[in-house]
């Protein structure tokens, strides 16, 4: 499934800034200056880090301190669950110069938001001192979203008996780094034997982020055409709910006081899908949801915006303007 909307991720952004190219001089032993090419500025990053030096005690990984090793591929051990203290910030993280995200690589499979104050890559330092510090607002930003029982921002689930079923029954979960900067980062999460209500499927999800655009693109491949696959956006009280659409795309969003950092700044989140892929749009107990038509491939995306970053939307008007610009770019990519 290649629908080529990846090409629109940079063009969509009204916040896109030009990358500056600087060169530097070095002096050879003869004293003659030689010009060397500048290293490209890293504007995207993806990672997964595994804790070292301990041992499993039931479903918890116990160690004396927090030492992590970044990996390029990983298969979850059977005992891994929520709050096992085995993966740094509980799963893979990805970011660009505007925003960051993380995926809970356990049965919850929710997607969380790291808001940022800087264009620097910060995730390699996040959570190195444990599992609580990134929930506090720091110089770089913080973990802003309350996911709870929802799918968070743009994760998958299956709709059964008036609720979203997460990834509680999976034969194996695999993670693989596909690309890591400087202008694009990409990774795959593969679920073997994801079984819900007696129906099993092998599902692959590829997440991509590019520099200059807060959007993440998700490409889904399934071995079975399911009639209850959903994605969604966490539902919080007392925030603005927004819908926008173009001829081929539908976008839903929320904007308002819905971050956990205590900074009194608004958080905006949006989810966009192809209209032709959607069987139903509805509200669940914890999420605003899209149910996909039965198929074996899908493509959708999401983004978050926080005014604590100088290059992000500073108010709801600018946030909605970016939504409209994104829809226009998606249409142009078809």
pLDDT tens series, the chain, 334 aa: 444 444 444 444 434 443 333 333 333 334 444 455 678 899 999 999 999 999 999 999 999 999 999 999 999 999 999 999 999 999 999 999 999 999 999 999 999 999 999 999 999 999 998 877 898 899 999 999 999 999 999 999 999 999 999 999 999 999 999 999 899 999 999 999 999 999 999 999 999 999 999 999 999 999 999 999 999 999 999 999 999 999 999 999 999 999 999 888 999 999 999 999 999 999 999 999 999 999 999 999 999 999 999 999 999 999 999 999 999 999 999 8
Q: Is 297 helix (H, G, I), strand (E, B) or coil?
A: strand
Q: Is 267 helix (H, G, I), strand (E, B) or coil?
A: strand
The contacts of residue 300 (CB under 8 Å, 6+ apart) are 154, 217, 218, 220, 231, 271, 272, 273, 274, 277, 290
pTM assigned to the model: 0.90
Give Cα 248 distance to the centre of its chain: 23
The contacts of residue 324 (CB under 8 Å, 6+ apart) are 244
Domains observed in the chain: 5-13+43-332 (2.70.98)
């Amino acid at each position: 499934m290649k629908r080529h909307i990846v090409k629109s991720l940079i063009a969509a952004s009204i916040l896109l800034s030009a990358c500056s190219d600087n060169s530097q001089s070095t002096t050879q032993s003869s004293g003659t200056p030689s010009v060397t090419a500048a290293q490209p500025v890293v504007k995207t990053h993806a990672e997964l880090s595994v804790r070292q030096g301990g041992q499993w005690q039931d479903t918890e990984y116990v160690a004396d301190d927090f030492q992590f090793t970044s990996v390029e591929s990983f298969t979850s051990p059977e005992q891994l669950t929520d709050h096992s203290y085995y993966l740094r910030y509980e799963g893979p993280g990805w970011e660009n110069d505007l925003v960051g995200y993380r995926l809970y690589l356990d049965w919850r499979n929710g997607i969380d938001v790291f808001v940022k104050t800087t264009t620097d890559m910060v995730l390699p330092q996040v959570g190195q001192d444990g599992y609580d510090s990134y929930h506090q607002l720091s110089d770089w930003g913080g973990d802003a979203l309350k996911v709870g029982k929802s799918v968070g921002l743009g994760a998958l689930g299956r709709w059964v008996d008036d609720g979203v079923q997460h990834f509680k029954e999976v034969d194996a979960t695999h993670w693989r780094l596909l690309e890591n900067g400087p202008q694009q980062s990409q990774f795959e999460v593969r679920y073997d034997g994801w079984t819900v209500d007696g129906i099993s499927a092998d599902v692959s999800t590829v997440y991509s982020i590019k520099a200059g655009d807060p959007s993440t693109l998700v490409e889904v491949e399934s071995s079975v055409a399911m009639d209850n696959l959903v994605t969604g956006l966490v539902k919080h009280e007392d925030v603005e709910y927004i819908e926008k659409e173009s001829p081929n795309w539908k976008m839903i969003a929320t904007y308002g006081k819905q971050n956990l950092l205590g900074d009194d700044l608004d958080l905006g989140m949006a989810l966009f899908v192809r209209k032709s892929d959607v069987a139903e749009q509805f509200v669940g107990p914890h999420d605003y949801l899209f149910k996909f038509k039965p198929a074996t491939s899908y493509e959708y995306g999401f983004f978050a915006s926080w005014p604590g970053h100088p290059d992000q939307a500073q108010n709801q008007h600018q946030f909605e303007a970016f939504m409209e610009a994104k829809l226009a770019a998606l249409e142009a990519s078809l």
